[in-house]
Amino acid sequence: MTTSTTPTLFTTDTNSSPSSISSSPIPEPSPSSPDSPTPTSVQTVPSPSISTPLSAPSGLLPTTIPSPTFTSHSFTFIPESSQTASGNLASLSHSICLGKGIDVTAIGVVATTILSSLVGLLLWILFAFLRPRFRQVYAVREWFVSSELRPKPLGNAFWAFLWPSVPLIPSLTDTGALDTRSGKRRNAVQFLSDEELAQRTLWHAFLTVLTWSIVGLAGALPLYLLRTPCVAESAPSEQFGGQYSTLHDLSLLRLLNLLDDKNITTTGISSFAKRAIVDGTNLRHFTEVRLIILAVLVVAASSIPAAIKLLHEFTKLVNYRKLWIEYKCDNVEMAWLRKADTMCFDGWGENQIKDYLTDIGLSQGFRNGSEANGNSSGVGMNGRSQRSYANRVAEEKPLPEIDIQSLFTISDTYRLSELVDERDLILNHLELAEIQYIKSFRQSTPSSSVADLEVPEEIPEPSTNIKLQISRPKALGGSSKSRSPYPRRRRAYNSATPTSYVAPSSYYRLRDVRGISRLSTSSGGDESLAQRISQRVIGSRFQEIQRDSVAFGRMPLGSHVQLDGQTGTLAPVQYSEEHFRHGPNGPMNADYIPGEPHSENRNSGYVYESPEGQSTLHGGPSTVPEEDELRSSELRSSDLRSSEPMSTPDELPPLPRVNPRPPRLETPLSLDRRSTFPIRSRVPENAVDGDDLPPPHMRLQTQRPFVRPVSGMDHDELGAVYDEIRQWRSRLKAINVEIAEAQEECYNQIAQGVNVKGWLLLGRGLRFLPNVHMIEGRSKEDIRYGDLQIDQSKIDGVAFWTVVVGVAVLLGAAVIAVVGLAVSPGPGVAHYLSFLSPLSNNNQLGSAIATTLAPAVAVTLFICLAVYIIHNAAGSYGPASVSASQIRGFKATFVLLCIVSCIWIVTIGGLVFSLESFATGTGRTHSVANGSIYFATFLLVMVINVAIISPALLLLQPFHLWRIKSLEKGAATPRQRFRVLYPRSYDPTFAMSCCLVAVMFAATFSVIFPLIGPAVCLLLLLTLIAHRYLIGYVFARTHSSQTGGLLQIWLLRRFADLVALQPLLLGLILLTRKLWVLGGILVGAAALLLALVETYASYKLRSPGINSLQEPARESLSRLQETIRSGNSQLPADADLTNSSRRLPPLPRSSLASVLEMMSLTLAVTPPSAKFRGPVPLSTEDLDDLTATEQAARTNPNAPPRLPTLAFLTHNEEMQSIMYAPELIAPPPIIWLPNDRSGVAQSEAADLMRFHGLKAILDITSLDSLPQ
């Protein structure tokens, strides 16, 4: 046995004496590789140091180190071919230099890039494929908004959405066009929406990150790479395994390793490692110079230009918003004043508060409010007041600094809102029943023209020697119901007038009424008798001729006649011998075979049922008793005269039963004789091709189409449908009356000051009023009327931020586990997280994906869930306006992403990376700094993972598409379809969250780790492309209020603050290397930059205070504050109680005009005309199908792109300036019916308006469907 000497590996301890260094065996080189170099141990010169006694961690040093000790460093380089033994050395691994191999982290980055690119590209292709096929989702603005706001249609080209007719960078309004306050000039200026301003913000964020990327790639990366050893050569070897990635050679870590104070000679071991001192040359000074250059790049070339660029755009948006407020809003503001904050007004009516505000000088328009309502914006003014107001504006007289122009009381309308919801449900049921009724009838057309009539060949007279045969007699007309052998569904073809329901009006219409008086010879028109006879007979009409006619000759009574094809006259029919064998009833039953099943197609003649149910053949003698026929006629007349069908018994008294006549087999001869018009013309024998004849549906029709019940429905089924219509129609009428009474009661409560929740104010200088909550959206859709019914307080704000803090804590806890998985390939991490050892000991694809892509996807999902929870919490605990709720939710999301997704996750990554340092108690700050840079590779994987997929999902909207497709199948009425297809509004939280995180990563690591910059640029560029299409063609400005860029101004300010992150992080890293001066300068530059940004932003956003007001305005505010502080709710001594609190008698109301009359009589408020309507409330693209049904009926994806404008104003347009609760001004709804080709819906709409007072409109799907 051969005995070998085992070399010793000296462990390193900065506070150990040379005599107390423990050793552990190192395996020998493998015999199979004799050329392998022997491990070389290099020891530094010990330096004396004084320290206290220190106990070594368990498993590392077995003894306690006494004092004094000496500091020493020992390093051993083990060749890659060495075989490890048992113990801790079993997990040893070696880092790889850039360009000499690939490690597990690099494999994960490459795999993530390939996989995410493939998935993202497939999603973009899928959107390009689905876009032209789902216009109701991906081209909403082409059919939903009004014609003047619709963009240019894109067409069906595959990649057309990449180049829409929407600017990528919307330009701000030219200030040169705003040099006058003329109304025409102001209306001509088009201000950008908040969505378009968000597009500009993303563009400037992209430019900023692009600048950082150029600085990082062109400036910092050469400093890292030129004439410096790679991280694998400069980093100390790890006895517990793990490795740095080749990607870290492209980071600041490559320079930091050269700052370690080591005196190492690399002679003889150049193939294994190189240290900070290469062959006796000290590189520390060389490294410090490069770090100074890097600091200059970070501060002077990266941070300061970015801050200047962002603040320049910030200033432009601030100036733009001032112009928006001055010219678009005319400096008019909107505010909410809670009753709980002003108990002094408890019990005051609306007119009393208006008089009080006018008396103390806070309003210039409420004087004589009972006559004109004195609104300086035109609300409630009569014609003379409106003209005087227009003249005052034209003269440009100085306007008051505080002027409350309109005041609207919000009272308790909970019961009224429940009634409106119930009416909506009733309306839905009524429209469903109406649609079922409309679909129960269809339009039928008569047969083809007389040119297709086949005249049977003339049959010679039979011989006289044929024996006559007696045929089966016909059934007499005494039965109550004929027992027809044909199926029941044939009864749907009867022409009897129904008595259990009212059919469409066209069902009762007389057709082709010509020559009612037989003495008139000109009423018959140009049609000949032969043409009229050849028409299909509908109902019980007769074609008669005079028996003693000179033109046709005398005809025997009861004889069969036929049309002579040559002369066009009627002549007796001549039968063959076979005919006389069966007697007079033979043709009907000659081919009857007992016991054979009867088929429907045996009889092609038109069969109908009489009112008593007896089947007859047209042209045959009627067997209906005379008194029954008269009674049926009376029932039909009563149906036509009454709006509701008469309640008549379903069955008439039974008559004696008669056995039915059995059917007969059809022959060509009998078909020709019985059918005035054959179903399809036969091709003559001498015809070459039968296709020369046009098909039946293209032949000339000699009669108008007519309406009849759909096949398969009898009168009982239609009667049940009509009973349902009658029920819901009655309930709709009743609840309309009930809602009118409730509205009247609410108006009287407002006039008396009862159950008041607060007041909505419109005017100038409202922000100076005490205890007001500003509504920045300045529109009716921005007001959350439901939340105004609840007494909100500061508890709501506390509850919201409590939810935010809780979500942040949970997100931070969830991130810790994921961060450990992402850092597991790092040096020594798997030793302390032993369950991750299998992932760090190999470079396989599975381990790479498990340590890169998997944690990146997990963190992304956690962040998405947190953002979703905060977004819902902002809506639940939001303030009085939608815009304020949206802004608060966006701010909370930004803070959460900045603290948890950026600062916290980087800190945790550095701490997990430093587990070994914390265990040994050495180099903790060094290790944390290295870990923060090491963790940048994981942030790069996160950005790559969402760079292509996130914009594609933003375009595709898979959940919204799935919801629409699933709900659209169940939408039976046009109103249900409208609500299903109602477009989504722009939500900046969901649209920009990925971009926010990416900008934070770029602001932190774009120079320290330059590879992250290009990935963020790609994400922002693709998001810009998707965002441009979405705001131009998809998102409607319905619930998203316009604030003049308030949120975008705040976001640009925060982006400018993020610029200080990179100097701050770089300074802290250099401080860990004891570069106090350079690190302190960077940290100070970051603080100074942050202070300058905040100071400048605060200066630009400053608002004038109360001291800026003139003395009269300050005195008025003082009087109001004194009244509020006193809490005295007594009415003024000179208050006019007769006009403000009198109880009005009930008024009949059934239309919008009565709603306006109620407001005028009770509150002295009337909406102004469109000419004198103020700019606030701002109009939006919102459409309420209950109050703007006429406009909603035009929002059909299949409707023509350009429809003529409505000739009247809708309810929404009429009540645009009235800010009362929507249920308080809600008019009776309009029934929305589909537009069928048969015209049944049109006649039903006319009947609903004529007989029931219910307005109905038809769905607009084409120009032909427009109301005449």
Average pLDDT over residues 329-344: 89
Instruction: Give residue-wise pLDDT tens across range 616-630.
Output: 433 444 444 444 443
Pair 479, 658: CB distance under 8 Å? yes
The single-letter DSSP state of residue 237 is P
Cis peptide before 1177 (omega within 30 of 0): yes
Model pLDDT for residues 637-680, shown as the tens digit of each residue? 444 344 444 343 344 444 444 455 555 544 444 444 444 444 44
**Which residues fall within 8 angstroms of residue 30, CB to CB, at 6 or more apart?**
36, 81, 82, 83
% pLDDT > 70, the chain:
60
| Residue 636 and residue 563 in contact, taking contact as beta carbons nearer than 8 Å | no
Which is more confident, 1142 or 359? 359
* 342: amino acid identity, one letter: T
Amino acid at 527: E
552 — pLDDT class (breaks 50, 70, 90): low
Predicted local confidence at residue 1126, as pLDDT? 81
Where on the phi/psi map is residue 595: left (φ > 0), alpha (ψ -120 to 50), or beta? Answer: left
Cβ-based neighbours of 720, under 8 Å, separated by 6 or more: none
Mean pLDDT of the chain: 73
| Structure confidence by residue, pLDDT tens digits, 1160-1185 | 556 556 666 656 678 888 888 888 88
Query: What whole-number distance in Å separates Cα of residue 522 and Cα of residue 665?
Result: 43
CA distance 547 to 993: 92
What backbone phi and psi angles, to 5 degrees, belong to 1232? -110, 110
Could you tell me which of 796, 772, 838, 681 has the C-alpha nearest to residue 104?
838
pLDDT tens digits for 251-272?
A: 998 888 888 655 434 443 333 3
Q: Is the pLDDT of residue 450 over 70?
A: no
Give the rounded percent of residues in the chain with a pLDDT score beyond 90: 30
Lowest-pLDDT range of 455-459, 591-595, 1021-1025: 591-595
At residue 681, does pLDDT exceed 50?
A: no
Pairing of strands 1231-1233, 1256-1258: parallel
Write down the pLDDT at residue 1132: 55
Q: Count the neighbouring beta carbons within 10 Å of the beta carbon of residue 156.
A: 10
CA distance 1062 to 903: 12
Residues in the chain: 1268
Instruction: Kindly give, in sequence order, each residue whose CB lies less than 8 Å from that of residue 733, ignoring residues fewer than 6 positions away.
Output: 1252, 1253, 1254
**Residue 672, CA distances (Å) to 302, 490, 562, 591 in order:** 96, 21, 11, 15
Spatial distance between the Cα atoms of 843 and 900, rounded to a whole number of angstroms: 31
Beta bridge partners of 760: 336, 408
For the record, the structure tokens of 402 come out as 């505080």
Tokens 């109360």: give the residue: 1106
Q: Confidence band (pLDDT; 50, 70, 90) for 836? A: confident
Question: Which residue has better confidence, 489 or 701?
Answer: 701
The pLDDT confidence band at residue 879, using thresholds 50, 70 and 90, is confident
- Whole-number Cα distances in Å, 610 to 103, 507, 532, 620: 92, 16, 23, 13
- Is 635 within 8 Å of 497 (Cβ atoms)? yes
Which residues are CB-contacts of 991 (< 8 A; sequence separation ≥ 6)? Answer: 198, 954, 1027, 1030
Q: At residue 3, does pLDDT exceed 60? A: no
CB 755 within 8 A of CB 1153: no
> At residue 448, does pLDDT exceed 50?
no
- E strand residue ranges, 947-1006: none
Please state, as a whole number, how many other Cβ atoms lie within 10 Å of the Cβ of residue 345.
21
pLDDT digits (tens, 9 = 90+) for 760-788: 999 999 999 998 999 998 999 899 988 88
> Is 816 buried (19+), middle (13-18) or exposed (0-12) by CB count in 10 A?
middle
- Average pLDDT of span 471-498: 45
| 962-to-134, 311, 956, 959, 1203 alpha-carbon distances in Å | 11, 42, 11, 5, 30
Q: Is the pLDDT of residue 498 over 70?
A: no
Helix runs in 131-228, H state only: 135-138, 183-188, 194-214, 221-225
CA distances from 103 to 137, 665, 787, 844, 1111 (A): 45, 90, 57, 9, 76
Residue 811 pLDDT greater than 90, yes or no? yes
**pLDDT (tens digit, 9 = 90+) per residue, 41-57?**
334 334 443 333 333 33
Query: At 914, is the pLDDT very low, low, confident or very high (cuts 50, 70, 90)?
Result: confident
Residue 480: which of 599, 625, 685 has the closest Cα?
Answer: 625
Other beta carbons within 10 angstroms of residue 558's beta carbon come to 7
Query: What is d(CA 741, CA 1147) in angstroms, rounded to the nearest whole number?
Result: 9
Classified as helix, coil or strand, 107 is helix
| Residue located via tokens 């815009």 | 883
Reduce the secondary structure of 1152-1192 to three states and give it as a string.
HHHHHHHHHHHHCCCCCCHHHCCCCCECCCCCCCCCCHHHH
* 1058 confidence band (pLDDT: 50, 70, 90): very high
